[in-house]
Amino acid sequence: MNFNNVQFKTSFGRFDQIPKAERIEIAFSGRSNVGKSSLINKIFNRKQLAKVSQVPGKTVTINFFDFENIYIVDLPGYGYAKVSKGKKNRWANLIEGYLNDTTRKLNLIFQLIDMRHAPSKDDLQMIDFMIEKELPFVIVLTKSDKLKPTAKKLRMEAFKEEIPYFDDIEVIPCSAQTGEGIDKIKEIIEYAATL
């Protein structure tokens, strides 16, 4: 697959606006500010494909990107404390609608977690949900460049205790800054796109 061959397609603010699945989809999920946009931009060698923002939780949309014969799906970042209840509900409707839609050809979800911290309550809820619904997912630990090797090791040990079924889940430390883990993510995308 040519990772330069990607293009923004559409944003949806409500689940009922999303057309029925036509293609295989690979989604990115994570709390707002986890580094999701930066990671997507890094994978596809683009500066502004996904919007990197210093102000978390601004828009609540699902964004679709054309990538060869599949869609890359950027799920709205969750868990930003300062958003209104209305916005939280919109988020919940969108993401739950999307993830509960069993007609979709959702071949893989990249679940992003900030490598520096324990998973949030929302992160754990997402993981439990994906396990319960038997949705295929891998965990991407973001911003790995911010930790020194010893701290990294300690955090990995801690994740083992914090994340259920950790040993059965593929976990990829990565950095949009150093490029750690990016090749691995590309390999997984290529594999999931042909399942």
Chain residues binding ligand GDP by CB under 6 A are: 30, 32-38, 52-54, 56, 77, 142-143, 145-146, 175-177
DSSP, res 15: G
- Do 175 and 143 touch, CB atoms closer than 8 A? yes
Q: In this complex, which beta carbon is closest to ligand GDP, that of residue 23 or of residue 87? A: 87
Element (H, E) at 114: strand 105-114
Place of tokens 């059965």: 168
Cβ 80 to ligand GDP, closest distance in Å? 9
Q: Which of 175, 158, 57, 80 is nearest to 117 (CA)?
A: 158
Cβ 73 to ligand GDP, closest distance in Å? 14
Tokens representing 158?
Answer: 């801690």
Distance of CA 159 to the CA centre of its chain: 18
DSSP, res 78: B
Cβ 56 to ligand GDP, closest distance in Å? 5
Q: In this complex, which beta carbon is closest to ligand GDP, that of residue 177 or of residue 194? A: 177
> What's at 5, amino acid-wise?
N
Cβ 167 to ligand GDP, closest distance in Å? 25
Q: In this complex, which beta carbon is closest to ligand GDP, that of residue 111 or of residue 175? A: 175
Q: In this complex, which beta carbon is closest to ligand GDP, that of residue 11 or of residue 33? A: 33
Cβ 3 to ligand GDP, closest distance in Å? 17
Q: Percentage helix, strand, coil, to 5, in the chain?
A: 35, 25, 40
Q: In this complex, which beta carbon is closest to ligand GDP, that of residue 55 or of residue 134? A: 55
Compute the distance between CA of residue 27 and CA of residue 21 in angstroms, rounded to an integer. Answer: 13
Cβ 123 to ligand GDP, closest distance in Å? 12
Q: In 10 A of CB 61, how many CB atoms?
A: 18
> What's at 78, amino acid-wise?
Y
Q: In this complex, which beta carbon is closest to ligand GDP, that of residue 23 or of residue 38? A: 38
